[in-house]
Chain A
Amino acid sequence: MNKHASNERRRQAIYGWMLLTPAAILLSLFAFYPSVATFWSSLFSRGTRRNPSEFVGTENYSDLFNDPTFWLVVENNLLYAFITIPVSIFFALSMALWANSKISAKGFVRTAYFTPTVLPMIAAANLWLFFYTPDLGVLDQIGSLFGFASVNWLGDPDTALWAIIIVTIWKEAGFFMIFYLAALQTIPTDYKEAADIEGASRFTYLRRIVLPLLMPTTLFIVVNAMINSVKLIDHLFILTKGGPSDASKLILYYIWEMAFAFFDAPHAAAMTVLVLIVLGIAAAVQFLYLDKRTHYQ
């Protein structure tokens, strides 16, 4: 009996590892090894024909910290995150509340909100190009009706990043709406009736009952939006290419440019390591800290 049990355990162990092998190989090849290799190559100088690559310690990192472009890009990305995250969440919540209430044309409204989600970012950028083109674009034509001067939305350092931010919000709000919509449908209607009988205003009901109940969903969305603020950069390739004079450049775009346009892999690797550290901290904070605060009694 005992022997049989231990045989069974051994069989399960072999079986478990066999099932995991394909995933383990691919994850090692495309996630774990590259992470370690990125860190390793960030410690070496860029090899040229004359000077072979050599160990330079943290020199690539100090180069980055002395590079004003790097700080500008970090600043851009922080602004990008701090605007797109709350504004998309605000729109997502409004959309979900509307799509969940008794309004007319609900089906159309819901479809309209969600449609940008299924479009590629590249296509979205092309669509918005027609809005942002100076003089001929939709925005300038509307502006000229009210007597505003033409603005080069994508070519002006003061507006380029904002133009990028608007496209991102437009793209992700409808996606986040879906999660709010699902959560809203789990809130029992008794709560609304009780609030009505107590004479609570719509705003009070929203603030005291709906928002706390939506807290876990909001957390999930915040984490996704944070990841998006690193990841969603495709539209830069069409709209601004990070310009003018780096005004709309974001970190991942800068990493790409460093590695594949300037062929400076070590500095790109150093920047990648910094991004991974920030993502890691974000993950840790989510698991350890925020998770506790979202439990609602």
Chain B
Amino acid sequence: MSTASQLSNSSSPRVELGFKQKNVIKHLDSVGAIALAMIWIAPLIFAFWAAFHTTSDAVNFNLLSSWTLDNFRVAWNGAPWIRYFLNTFMLVTVILIGQFIITTFAGFAFAKVTFPGKDFVFILVLLQLFILPEVLIVENYAVVSNIGLFDTILGVGMPYMASAFGIFLMRQSFKSVPMELHEAARIEGCSWFGILMRVYVPLAKPTYIAYALVSVSTHWNNFLWPLIVTNSDETRPLTVGLSIFGAPENGVDISVISAATLMSVAPLLIAFLIFQRQFVQAFLRAGIK
């Protein structure tokens, strides 16, 4: 607040009115923002309500009815959830390790190594940002089947490992490392690989964390491609398992579906609520660069 506006606030009656109006507007803002927030989390709240009540109590919104864990019991016994959790966990880990290795190498090459054809190859890489893996499902399915990776976790993860987005992110991050550090390490007798691992990678730690959070939450939630390339409980991730469990043909009711849904989103949701600030920062960093 500048002193000028404070002065005029106390001296002129006209501005005094403006000040009151501002207060009213501020309250209206709060009301509007909170109302929208309530609407936005309503689906989650209702699912929470339904998951802990019998179906008839849930749909009648019987506020005094007793809470129950039966829905979770039914849901838990209805599908191999531990297996699905494990599959999803392995999938995001495999993808993340692959992405870290491949995007670190490629990002470093684009940022700090001069070689003929670099600009052309970089444009080719950027093209992949628009050739979405989601759109190429038909031929990617053929490729994965041909190299014998159908219905394997590696097969689900592989198309995402050479992520153009990740390469771009790493390139930007490595570019900002001052050349003096590079030179200093070289004079100390560090090899190219040593410089990469001891100078660049540690300095890019925030980028790695941001990229990891975005990658894990993207692939934890991915559905269409895993649906296509998995065909057994041993490989199916949570999202595919949940969609099969909730299929109308299976005739499960709304309370049990809600319980299963909450179960499968719980790990990521809880992690998000705890590390909220880092999550948001991660998405920002990933989006802006």
Cα A99 to Cα B102 with chains together (Å): 37
Q: Report the bound CA distance from A275 to B41 in whole Å.
A: 34
Q: Which of A112, A136, A202 contacts B25 (CB 8 A)?
A: A202
Which range contains the number of A residues in contact with the other chain? 35 or more
- By a CB distance below 8 angstroms, the chain B residues around A279 are 130-132, 135
Contact B132 A265 (CB under 8 A): no
Minimum CB–CB distance from A194 to chain B (whole Å) comes to 10
| B36 lies within 8 A of A237 (CB) | no
In the assembled complex, A291 has its CB within 8 A of some CB on chain B: no
* Residue A211 lies at the interface, judged by CB distance under 8 Å to chain B: no
Q: Which positions 91-123 of chain B face chain A at CB distance < 8 Å?
A: 101-103, 105-106, 108-109, 113-116, 118, 121
A268's nearest neighbour on chain B, judged by CB, is B138
Q: Which residues of chain B have C-beta atoms less than 8 A from A288's C-beta?
A: none
A290 in the interface (beta carbon within 8 A): no
Contacts of A197 in B (CB 8 A): 4-5
Q: Is the CB of A112 within 8 A of B41?
A: yes
A26 (CB) vs chain B CBs: closest residue = B162
Q: How far is the CA of A95 from the CA of B32 in the complex (A)?
A: 10
How many whole Å from A28's CB to the nearest CB in chain B? 9
Given A115-B269, A202-B25, the answer on whether A31 and B37 have CB atoms closer than 8 Å is no
Q: A164 CA to B231 CA in the complex, in Å?
A: 27
Q: Please pick, from A33, A119, A131, the residue contacting B221 in the complex, using a CB distance under 8 A.
A: A119
The listed residue (A15, A26, A238) touching B243 by CB distance below 8 A is A238
On whether A118 and B217 interact (CB within 8 A), knowing A13-B115, A23-B103, the answer reads yes
Contacts of A283 in B (CB 8 A): 129-130
Complex interface residues of chain B between 128 and 158 (CB less than 8 A to chain A): 128-143, 147, 158
Q: Are the C-beta atoms of B135 and A112 separated by less than 8 Å?
A: no
Is the beta-carbon distance between A136 and B59 smaller than 8 angstroms?
yes
Query: Beyond A108-B37, A122-B242, A275-B135, is A15–B30 a contact (Cβ under 8 Å)?
Result: no
Indicate whether A269 sits within 8 Å of B139 (C-beta atoms), given known contacts A20-B106, A127-B261.
yes
Tell me if B272 counts as interface (CB < 8 A to partner A).
yes
Interface residues in chain A, defined as those with a beta carbon under 8 Å from any beta carbon in chain B: 9, 12-13, 15-17, 19-20, 22-27, 29-35, 37-38, 41, 91, 94-95, 98-99, 101-105, 108-109, 111-124, 126-131, 133, 136, 138, 141, 170, 174-175, 178-179, 182, 193, 196-197, 202, 220, 227, 230-231, 233-234, 237-238, 252, 255-256, 259-260, 265, 268-269, 272, 275-276, 279-280, 282-283
**10 closest A-B pairs (Cβ-Cβ)?**
A16-B115, A34-B139, A26-B162, A120-B221, A112-B37, A98-B33, A19-B109, A23-B106, A127-B43, A30-B159
- Chain B residues packing against A (C-beta within 8 Å): 2, 4-5, 25-26, 29-30, 32-34, 36-38, 40-44, 46-47, 50, 59, 61, 101-103, 105-106, 108-109, 113-116, 118, 121, 124-125, 127-143, 147, 158-159, 161-162, 164, 167, 192, 217, 220-224, 227-228, 238-239, 242-243, 246, 254, 257-258, 260-261, 264-265, 268-269, 272-273, 276, 279-280, 283-284, 287-288
Q: A104-B30, A112-B37, A279-B135 are in contact. List 20 more A-B contacts (CB 8 A).
A: A16-B118, A17-B109, A19-B113, A38-B138, A109-B33, A113-B37, A115-B272, A118-B217, A118-B221, A119-B265, A120-B221, A122-B221, A122-B223, A127-B258, A131-B46, A138-B42, A178-B283, A193-B5, A256-B224, A276-B131
